[in-house]
Amino acid sequence: MTVTKPIHRIAIVGTGVIGASWTALFLAKGLQVTATDIAPNAEAALVQFVENAWPALKRLGLSPGASQSNLKFTADLAAALDGADFVQENGPERLDFKRKLYGQLDELLSPDAIIASSSSGLKMSEIQSGAALHPERCVIGHPFNPPHLIPLVEVVGGKKTSEQSIRRAMEFYTSIGKKAVRLNKELPGHVANRLQGALAREVYHLVAEDVLSAADVDDALSWGPGLRWGIMGNMMLNHLGGSPGGIEHFFQQFAGPMTTSWKALGSPVLTPELQKKLIDGVRAEVGSRTIPELEAERDEILLGLLELRAKRPDTVAPREAAAE
Instruction: For residue 47, give Cα distances in angstroms to 15, 29, 42, 68, 291.
Output: 10, 17, 9, 8, 20
Q: How many helices (H) and strands (E) does the chain have?
A: 14, 8
Between 322 and 302, residue with greater pLDDT: 302
Q: Is the pLDDT of residue 186 over 90?
A: yes
Residue type for position 123: K
**Considering only the top CATH level, what class is 193-287?**
mainly alpha
CB 95 within 8 A of CB 122: yes
pLDDT, position 1: 42
CB proximity list for 129: less than 8 A, separation 6 or greater: 99, 135
Write down the mean pLDDT value for the chain. 94
Q: What is the CATH number of domain 9-182?
A: 3.40.50.720
Q: Is the pLDDT of residue 127 over 90?
A: yes
pLDDT, position 2: 52
Instruction: For residue 104, give Cα distances in angstroms to 4, 13, 96, 100.
Output: 24, 12, 13, 7
Q: Tell me: the pLDDT tens digits for 51-72?
A: 999 999 999 999 999 999 999 9
What is the C-alpha separation between 244 and 253, in angstroms, rounded?
13
Q: Region 18-25: what's the mean pLDDT?
A: 98
Domain ranges of the chain: 9-182, 193-287
CB 23 within 8 A of CB 46: yes
Q: Region 38-55: what's the mean pLDDT?
A: 97
Question: CA nearest 20: which of 90, 85, 81, 78?
Answer: 90
What is the C-alpha separation between 153 and 176, in angstroms, rounded?
11
246: left (phi over 0), alpha (psi -120 to 50) or beta: left
pLDDT, position 312: 77
Q: Tell me: the pLDDT tens digits for 267-319?
A: 999 999 999 999 999 999 999 999 999 999 999 999 999 999 988 755 544 44
pLDDT, position 318: 45
Which DSSP string do the residues of 190-204 spell out, in sequence order? TTHHHHHHHHHHHHH
Q: Helix, strand, or coil here: 10?
A: strand
pLDDT, position 169: 98
CB 5 within 8 A of CB 112: yes
Q: Region 216-222: what's the mean pLDDT?
A: 97
Q: Dihedral of CA 61/64/69/74: which sign?
A: negative
Q: Tell me: the pLDDT tens digits for 242-264?
A: 999 999 999 999 999 999 999 99
Q: Helix, strand, or coil here: 114?
A: strand
What's the pLDDT band for 5 if we cut at 50, 70, 90?
A: confident
Q: Region 210-224: what's the mean pLDDT?
A: 97
Q: Is the pLDDT of residue 324 over 60?
A: no
pLDDT, position 266: 95
